[in-house]
Structure 1
Amino acid sequence: MAEKRESTARLVASLTRLWDDVVAASALTGDDDEHDPEGQTVAFERAQLRDTLKQARGDLEALDRAASRVAGGEYWVCERCGGPIAAARLAARPTATCCIDCAGLPAR
């Protein structure tokens, strides 16, 4: 899990730098995306980058929560039913907080 967190943190840092560069570059131009033939592409790429960064930050937060669950001795315990979370599930999805049975239930 430590390797996954480290690589995700690097991804967040890289995407953040890229986002900052895009914002800085757009602030330096007076281009109007709406009337620019390339505008929709630029706006789409910016939105895609924003969403990718949001997802990467969410992944990092989930990994940090999983590490806290490990430290607190709760990693193997389902948050919904209190039963065990199978090792195979945690191997496939280290940030899982519920057992496979509870994962199929509607959200509360």
Structure 2
Amino acid sequence: MDQARRRLESERERTLAHLASLSNDYAGVVAASRDSNADDEHDPEGATIAFERSQIGALVRQAQQRLEEIVAAVDRVEAGTYGTCETCGGAIGEARLEVRPTAATCIRCAEAATRR
């Protein structure tokens, strides 16, 4: 479990760094639009500015969701259920956890969920 905890901490640090970078990018886009005389509805470049803000906002939400997944995985480590599929109760393969440390389901159950 120490390895899982280290893996999750590393993932958390990467995600926090990514979130900080996205926040800086967002602030830059907002500052650039504030410095220009762009009107999103009437300026041909306005749609691009709005699109960039929207894209960065979506990436921020994804990073925040990723942090929530990491917190949930750490909670599973502490509860002693990390590596156990939340759907079938079977083991989540080590290879899956190495690639996706926040996985809460085994591959079989994850594939079944995507077919629904």
Name the TM tier (shorter chain): 0.7 to 0.9
Let me know the Cα RMSD of the aligned residues. Answer: 2.1
Describe the SS at the equivalent of 2:112: coil
Q: Work out whether 1:61 is the aligned partner of 2:105.
A: no
What does residue range 13-92 of structure 1 map to in structure 2 within 5 Å?
A: 13-23=20-30, 26=33, 31-92=38-99
Q: Which position in structure 2 is the counterpart of 1:103? A: 110
Percent of aligned pairs sharing the same letter = 48
**Structure 1 length normalisation: TM-score?**
0.85
Could you tell me how far apart the structure 1 residues matched to 2:34 and 2:72 are? Answer: 36
**1:61 shift after superposition:** 1.2
Alignment check: 8 A CA contact 2:33 2:49 kept: no
Report how far residue 104 of structure 1 moved.
1.3
Aligned to 1:94: 101
Answering whether residue 6 of structure 2 is matched by residue 3 of structure 1, we say no
Gaps of 5+ in 1: none
Structure 2: stretches of 5+ with no match in the other structure: 1-6
Shift of 1:26: 4.5
- Count matched residues: 108
What's the offset of the Cα at 1:101? 1.0
